[in-house]
A = this chain, B = another copy of it.
Amino acid sequence: MLVTDVRLALPPWIEEAVDRERVYAGDEARVALAIELARRNVAEGTGGPFGAVVFDDGGRVVGAGVNVVLPQHCSAAHAEVMAFAAAQALVRRARLDEDGRRYTLATSAQPCAMCYGACFWAGIDELLIGARSSDVMTLSDFDEGPLPEDWIGELGRRGISVRRDILRDEACAVFRLYAEKDGATY
C-alpha cells in the first residue's frame, strides 16, 4: 500500500507556548517567539533547533512551527514549512495574503534552500530572521543548501521584504544549547 495521507504533527507543548490572544508588537517580539519555540524544541527533545511563526498584520499568531523532521519521518518538516502549513490550514487558503492583509514569517534562523523557496509560495509579505546561515553552519552540523546569489533581492522583487540579524545572539544560543545537549539526535 502506498501512503496517500500524510500527517505531520507538531509537539503538544506548542499550543501553550503561543498566546493567540496576544499582539506581538514589533519585529523583536516576533522573532523572540520563534527563538523560544526553537529553544523549547531542543529542551523538550521534540525536534531540531529551529522555530518559525506566521503573524498577521495585527501582530497575532496565525501559525507556528518547529522542526519535526526526525520524529515525523519527513525531510520537509522544517519549522518554516510547518508554520506555513499550520497557518494555511487555519485560514483554509494556500496563499495567506489573498485576503488582502499582510503576513509576516518570523524565523529563528535563515531559511534553508527549501524553506527559502517555500517563502515565495506561502503568501507572506515580510521575512524576519534571527541567526544567519553562517551561524547555523558554524554552530551545528546542519547544511543550509545553496541559494541564489542575490537571495534577498529575489524575495524583494516578488514583494517580500527581509530583515535579518534580529536577536541574533539569542538565536545563536539555541544552537549552542543543542550542541551541548548530550545525546542530541535531532
Are A121's CB and B117's CB within 8 A? no
Are B8's CB and A6's CB within 8 A? yes
Query: How close is A93's CB to chain B, nearest CB, in angstroms?
Result: 6
Question: Beyond A14-B2, A92-B73, is A113–B123 a contact (Cβ under 8 Å)?
Answer: no
Are A115's CB and B117's CB within 8 A? yes
Q: Which residues of B contact A11 (CB under 8 A)?
A: 4
Q: Which of B8, B88, B118 contacts A114 (CB 8 A)?
A: B118
One digit per residue, 1 when the CB lies within 8 angstroms of any chain B CB and 0 when it does not, for chain A 67-92 equals 00110111111000110111111111
Q: Say whether A112 faces chain B, with CB atoms less than 8 Å apart.
A: yes
Are A94's CB and B121's CB within 8 A? no
Q: Say whether A154 faces chain B, with CB atoms less than 8 Å apart.
A: yes
Name the 10 nearest CB pairs between A and B, nearest first: A114-B117, A113-B117, A75-B121, A146-B154, A3-B86, A146-B148, A3-B89, A4-B10, A6-B85, A6-B8
Q: For chain A, which range describes its interface: under 10, 10 to 19, 20 to 34, or 35 or more residues? A: 35 or more
The B-contacting residues of A in range 108-129, CB under 8 angstroms, are 112-118, 120-123
A72 to B143, CA, bound (A): 30
Q: Which residues of B contact A76 (CB under 8 A)?
A: 76, 81, 84-85, 118, 121-122
Q: Which residues of B contact A114 (CB under 8 A)?
A: 114-118, 120-121
* Given A1-B20, A73-B93, A74-B85, 5 further pairs, Cβ under 8 A: A3-B63, A73-B88, A73-B89, A73-B91, A116-B117
